[in-house]
Amino acid sequence: MHGYEIANSIQRISDDVLQVEEGSLYPALQRMLIKGWVTAKWGTTAGNRRARYYRLTAAGRRQLAVEMSQFERVIGAITRVIEAV
Amino acid sequence: MNWLREVARRLRMLVHRRQFDADLEEEMQLHLELRQQEHLESGMNADSARAAARRRFGNVTALREKSHIAWGWEWFENLVQDVGYGLRMLRKNPGFTSVSVLTLALGIGANTAIFSVINGVLLSPLPYKNPQQLVVRRGNDSPPNVRDIQRQARAFSEGGGINVQKMDYTGGTEPVQVRTGLVDAGFLETLGVQPMLGRIISPSEDMKGGPRLAVASYSFWQNFLGSDPHAVGKAIPLGGNTYTVIGVMPASFAPPAEHADVFVSMWAGDPGAAAERDVHFMHTYWRLQTGVALAQAQAEMAAIDRRLAEQYPAEEKERKTQLVPLHEWLVGDVRPALLVLFGAVGLVLLIACANFASLLMAREVARRQELVIRAALGAGRGRLIRKTLTESALLSVLGGVAGLLLAQWGTRMLLALRPEKLARLSGIHMDTRVLLFVLAVSVLTGVVFGMAPAWVAARGDVAEALNESGRSTTASAMGHRIRNILVTSELALALVLLVGAGLLIKGFSRLRSMNPGFNPANVMTMYLQLPATRYAEIPKQTQFRRELLARLNSLPGLQAAMVTDIPLGGNYVGHGFVIDGHPPVAVGGEPDVQTLSVMGDYFRVMQIPLRAGRDFTPLDREGQPLVAIVSEEVVREFFPHENPIGARIHWARETEPPQWMTVIGVVADVKHSGLDQPVDPAVYTPFPQSNEIWRSFMTLAIRTGAVSSGLVEEVKKQVWSLDSRIPVNDVHTMDELMAVSLAQQRFNMLLLGLFAALALVLAAVGIYGMMAYRVGQRMHEIGIHIALGAQRRDVLRLVLVDGAKLACFGIAIGIASAIALTRLMTSLLFEVKPTDPETFAVVVIVLAIVALAACYAPARRAMRVDPMVALRYE
């Protein structure tokens, strides 16, 4: 997926709940490129425009798992706190 | 491994960052256009579609920067930018740039030159195997003693000795004298340098009746063996005998303190001396066993000394072996001079740096508006400081490069000036350590001395500064104070250097005006040695001498005489002596005097005044009553209350019954060992009355109207007409020997003088710059003064008093520091106290005059101010 598609899919999948400032996607993508979590390759869009396509790497998937478990722990904790109130 | 790949990715980004920025730009553009397209399709008009897309995307520039910064190269790009900017600024201000670079180049160059000497002499290891294990015995020892120590001592792994004697080498077209190192097998072994060809003398060959073997030095191999790779095995005629070359040493090898062209076994070269217990003539080097401390070895030596004294009470009663680490022994003499010089160039560098900082500050103040605008546009203080520091570091690195060039030239000059003591240490050149030193010095200079100006420049309130509306009269008081301190310390440092130089100059002139005891003008000297094989009997030696002097004195316009050791020639022979009628002295405890044999009218030729009694005459010859002439120092020391004329003396431990000599005259003292050395008591005897065969050498002293090279050839011709196989060596004028004797002092004085002159110029430039700047700042005020009726004289005084205050302050601090610091150079001063008031007074006056002169030009400019112009001046 290229940047625009990523932004759109985030919006779509989250049912329009997550509407970030779209541009901040790009610095985030750069940081993931540095870490080696994603790779980028130039390709052509359906409209025959040049676009940079990002793909999750194996390292990226591992990192995702780490982040997910981290996230679930935090969410779980928050949920428990809220429920206890 | 992961971080390695990450670094690789970051580096790739750095290399392709243009492409990277373009890609990002394209990517974001695509995003915006697609979004805009979407809005258009949902029915918006073109303008609002674009606006909505942008709103949703955020600040494009900021995001682009954020993406860029994410890669972590911001510092690098800032640096590139700052350097580029700095270079542009330097190009635009050629005057400022060249003055700063030149100032720093002088400071750094002088430091580098001295540092490379220090590096070569003090810091580099000696060119021997494990040189830190090598120790040397002070004074000399005899071969049998050395052999005993080698056998008994546990503290040393190896040890050996050398004595250099001149021998004639007759293998070439002309007979020449070569310096022959008589060594034992331990000598070359101890130093641990492998021969380039062949081998060294082995212990089994180093014994009585051993073979005549020679190890050639590299230069001997080149000059006399034709660089023959098969030189090993060749026979060479040396000192009347034939030796077989068994090895050649590499070019890098030289004995620590001796000059030797060729090494032969002591037993082969001088079998007589090799067996004598009481002929102490071997200079010995020892290698400490691994893990043995010097103190341990010293203690063991003391025990051996005691044993030897018990065993040989007649010869070895007064043994007192002292061991010194070789490196310390070699450089101990020059270390104080080098350290003082290093300190002095350090001060020069400080002055240069102060000037540099002062220049930077003046410029930063002038550029204040620019900095303020930058700050107003959002440049952080850190970034501003970094920019200014980059500029000063650029300047100092440029200064360092220029300094390196200066140092290249300066080191060559130093080597040309160097005294004999440094000449042997050839390791003086630029190496990595020197280059690192320069780099460190220049970067530190730039950063440390750029810090104050940068800090002053970047501080302060933007709004307030903008309100100054371009008038720079209220330039930061802080900067002002710092510049005052800089100029004051420059003057103080310059004063310290001037005092140091002044003291050395005074000491040197004292030394120069020292009466050597003879008249060195128009005296030519040369050294001859009669080969022991062909002149084994004294009458034969005497006959040669008498005939040679007769032939030389028959030449027109010259007067020739001879002596065993010429003053300042570097040779000295001492001998114990006994005075008839004085209380007897224990054997071995007789007082030592210098012993000299003379022939011809020696005292007249050298113009050594006769103080009492009579001179030798041709009648004081063999078969006649033995006579001697003593120096005044002998009278002072040994005949304080009696008339020495007529007293009888004889050499200690000589033939029984003693051969008494009658003192017939007293001559003036001669500075034999150096102008800065005390005079030695000396006893002169006529050559023909000598009964010692070892006195087979002599130095001719020839006084002429004018010394010419033709004269030298004529003398050589006369020598060779008597015996064509006698080499003539060490041809010097007495003036040359005087100059050599002064060389170390001269070296110190010239260098410190040069540094002081440099310091004076730099300090003058510093105070001049300061005052010129000050006057510029006060133009307005001065204009008002004049408009209100102040006389030109008053204006002149106003400025001069301002400068004088700074100067007085600097001079006061300088005097205090000089008093504290010149103590460190006491050992370099000849008969001058480090707090010599005369020198201090002269230096203070010179510095005050220079400082005032430097203030005078700006003051005149202030005096000429047109009030109308000045009031409008900004």
Joined tokens for residue A21: 């400032």
Question: Which residues are CB-contacts of B277 (< 8 A; sequence separation ≥ 6)?
Answer: B142, B144, B145, B312, B315, B316
Check A34 against B71: CB less than 8 A apart: yes
C-alpha distance from B8 to closest chain A C-alpha (Å): 9
Q: What is the mean pLDDT of residues B259-288?
A: 85
Q: Which residue of B has its CA nearest to A35?
A: B6
Contact B825, B465 (CB under 8 A): no
Residue B127: asked if its preceding bond is cis (omega within 30°), the reply is no
Supply the pLDDT for residue B466.
Answer: 60
Provide the residue range defining the domain that includes A55.
Answer: 3-84
Residues of A with CB under 8 A from a CB of B: 2-4, 7, 21-24, 26-27, 29-31, 33-36, 42, 45, 49-52, 59
What is the average pLDDT score of chain B?
A: 85
Check B6 against A23: CB less than 8 A apart: no
Contact list, B70 vs chain A (CB under 8 Å): 27, 30-31, 34
Contact B782, B534 (CB under 8 A): no
- 3-state SS string over B824-838? HHHHHCCCCCCCCHH
CATH code, domain carrying A33: 1.10.10.10
Q: What is the mean pLDDT of residues B709-726?
A: 85
Q: What is the mean pLDDT of residues B700-705?
A: 90
Contact list, A30 vs chain B (CB under 8 Å): 67-68, 70-71
Q: What is the mean pLDDT of residues B797-818?
A: 89
Supply the pLDDT for residue B467.
Answer: 60
Phi-psi region of B396 (alpha: psi -120 to 50; beta: other; left: phi over 0): alpha
Supply the pLDDT for residue B664.
Answer: 95
C-alpha distance from B2 to closest chain A C-alpha (Å): 9
Supply the pLDDT for residue B472.
Answer: 47
Residue B873 has pLDDT above 70, yes or no: no
3-state secondary structure of B529: strand
3-state secondary structure of B252: coil
Phi-psi region of B226 (alpha: psi -120 to 50; beta: other; left: phi over 0): left
Check B30 against A3: CB less than 8 A apart: yes
Interface of B with A in 65-104 (CB under 8 A): 66-68, 70-72
H-type helices in B723-733, by residue range?
A: none
- Which of residues B277 and B218 earns the better pLDDT score? B218
Q: What is the mean pLDDT of residues B693-713?
A: 82
Q: What is the mean pLDDT of residues B230-240?
A: 90
Contact list, A26 vs chain B (CB under 8 Å): 24, 27-28, 63-64, 66-67
> Where are chain B's structural domains?
2-72, 139-321, 531-725
Check B31 against A52: CB less than 8 A apart: no
Closest among B162, B147, B144, B155 to B200, alpha carbons compared:
B162
- How far apart CA B234 and CA B218 sit, in angstroms, is 15
Contact list, B10 vs chain A (CB under 8 Å): 34
- How far apart CA B255 and CA B219 sit, in angstroms, is 13
Quickly tell me which residue has 């210098």 as its tokens.
B594
- Could you read off the pLDDT of B371-385 as tens digits, one per residue? 778 777 877 777 788
Interface test with B, best of A29, A30, A50 (most B CBs within 10 A): A30
Q: Which residue of A has its CA nearest to B3?
A: A35
Contact B93, B330 (CB under 8 A): no
- Could you read off the pLDDT of A15-37 as tens digits, one per residue? 777 766 788 888 888 888 888 88
- Could you read off the pLDDT of B528-576 as tens digits, one per residue? 888 767 888 889 999 999 999 999 999 888 899 999 999 988 778 888 8
Phi-psi region of B631 (alpha: psi -120 to 50; beta: other; left: phi over 0): beta
Supply the pLDDT for residue B369.
Answer: 73
Q: Which residue of B has its CA nearest to A28?
A: B67
The number of distinct structural domains making up chain A is 1
- Could you read off the pLDDT of B114-136 as tens digits, one per residue? 888 888 777 778 888 898 899 99
Supply the pLDDT for residue B744.
Answer: 78
Q: What is the mean pLDDT of residues B489-512?
A: 90
Check B9 against A34: CB less than 8 A apart: yes
pLDDT-derived band of residue B636, with 50, 70 and 90 as boundaries?
very high
pLDDT-derived band of residue B492, with 50, 70 and 90 as boundaries?
very high
Q: Which residue of A has its CA nearest to B23?
A: A52
Check B31 against A7: CB less than 8 A apart: yes
Supply the pLDDT for residue B654.
Answer: 60
Candidates A23, A29, A42; nearest CB to B60:
A23
Interface test with A, best of B67, B68, B73, B74 (most A CBs within 10 A): B67
Q: Which residue of B has its CA nearest to A19?
A: B56
Residue B272 has pLDDT above 80, yes or no: no
- Could you read off the pLDDT of B34-90 as tens digits, one per residue? 888 888 888 888 888 888 888 888 888 888 888 877 777 778 888 888 888 888 888
pTM of the model: 0.72
* Phi, psi of B474, rounded to the nearest 5 degrees: -95, 35
C-alpha distance from B60 to closest chain A C-alpha (Å): 7
Q: What is the mean pLDDT of residues B618-641?
A: 92
Interface test with A, best of B19, B34, B37 (most A CBs within 10 A): B34
Interface test with B, best of A8, A19, A22 (most B CBs within 10 A): A22
Closest among B185, B242, B232, B236 to B212, alpha carbons compared:
B242
Residue B716 has pLDDT above 70, yes or no: yes
The percentage of residues in chain B with a pLDDT greater than 90, rounded to a whole number, is 25
- Could you read off the pLDDT of B834-850 as tens digits, one per residue? 889 999 999 999 999 98
- Could you read off the pLDDT of B453-479 as tens digits, one per residue? 777 666 666 666 666 544 444 455 667
Q: What is the mean pLDDT of residues B570-594?
A: 83
Supply the pLDDT for residue B165.
Answer: 82
3-state secondary structure of A7: helix
Q: What is the mean pLDDT of residues B363-377?
A: 76
Check A30 against B70: CB less than 8 A apart: yes
Most confident of B64-68, B406-410, B680-684, B749-753: B680-684
What is the average pLDDT score of chain A?
A: 85
Check B10 against A36: CB less than 8 A apart: no
- How far apart CA B79 and CA B386 sit, in angstroms, is 9
C-alpha distance from A74 to closest chain B C-alpha (Å): 27
User: How many helices and strands, by DSSP H and E, does chain A display?
Assistant: 3, 2
3-state secondary structure of A33: helix
Q: Quick count: other Cβ atoms within 10 Å of Cβ A75?
A: 10
End-to-end CA distance of chain A: 42
Supply the pLDDT for residue B652.
Answer: 81
Check A21 against B57: CB less than 8 A apart: yes
Check B27 against A51: CB less than 8 A apart: yes
DSSP β-bridge partners for residue B575: B593
- Could you read off the pLDDT of A61-77 as tens digits, one per residue? 998 999 999 999 999 99
